[in-house]
Amino acid sequence: MLSLNNNKNNKIGILISGRGSNMESIIKACKEGLIPAEVVIVISDKPDAAGLQKAKNYNIETAVIERNLYSSKEEFEKAIINLLQKKNVDLICLAGFMRILSPMFIRSFPLKIMNIHPALLPSFPGLHAQKQALDYGVKISGATVHFVDEGVDTGPIIMQEAVEVLDNDTEESLSQRILQKEHQIYPKAIKLFFENKLIIQGRKVKIIQ
């Protein structure tokens, strides 16, 4: 049994590639005091990510680290790791970051990286999870917050919330309803992390009441 109780700085780094609505829900929850931590850096691999301006509007430091400016994926990831370490983050939140991180990156921050996925894992991992759910014909989908391990969307699950799939749903309408749940559970999971209420046994995450 491993308690995740070793946060020293209460600092969060967020990685994005796009819109940044989950990023914004985390920033807001910190600013409002729901999460006892501070977002100290938002890093995007895309210079035109809309989330960058949103972060600046909250006076959060931002950085753009573009893959094509580095000779290898390893060098690119090392640049991100260096910045996160320099900012002394306790937790890295992936929020629509559209790259698979290497084992080297994951091992640099064991059980310190969270992700939000728009489906009830282990169903529909990877890209276009909402479309996968619609195409499969499931009646219930949802959102999952999990720790990131070396697989794609396979890490220990922290929190899930279900969403009904309606007969007339489109990818957009289902995505929108799932997104509302994402904005609720991602800050909640992060809050529990910083309150030291998460413990991990094998691949099971338990919440201390």
Catalytic positions, please?
A: 117
User: Does residue 12 sit in helix, strand or coil?
Assistant: strand
Q: Identify the sign of the CA torsion 40, 117, 103, 200.
A: positive
Binding segment for ligand GRF (CB under 6 A), chosen from 4-12, 21-29, 71-79, 153-161, is 21-29
CA distance 108 to 181: 30
When asked if residue 18 is in the footprint of ligand GRF (CB under 6 A), the reply is: yes
CA distance 31 to 128: 31
Q: Which is nearer to ligand GRF, 54 or 112 (CB)?
A: 54
User: Residue written as tokens 């990023």?
Assistant: 23
- Taking residues 157 to 186 in sequence order and writing x for each that binds ligand GRF by CB under 6 A, - otherwise, the string is ----------------------x--x----
CA angle 151, 157, 158 (to 5 degrees): 135
- Taking residues 26 to 65 in sequence order and writing x for each that binds ligand GRF by CB under 6 A, - otherwise, the string is -------------------------x--------------
Contacts of 93 (CB under 8 A, 6+ apart): 12, 13, 14, 15, 22, 23, 26, 113, 114, 115, 186, 190
* Burial letters 134-146, b for 16+ CB under 10 A, else e: beeeeeebbbbbb
**Which of 19, 46, 67, 188 lies at the binding interface for ligand GRF (CB under 6 A)?**
19
CB of 17 to ligand GRF, least distance (A): 7
When asked if residue 73 is in the footprint of ligand GRF (CB under 6 A), the reply is: no
When asked if residue 96 is in the footprint of ligand GRF (CB under 6 A), the reply is: yes
When asked if residue 22 is in the footprint of ligand GRF (CB under 6 A), the reply is: yes
- Taking residues 112 to 151 in sequence order and writing x for each that binds ligand GRF by CB under 6 A, - otherwise, the string is ----xxx---------------------------------
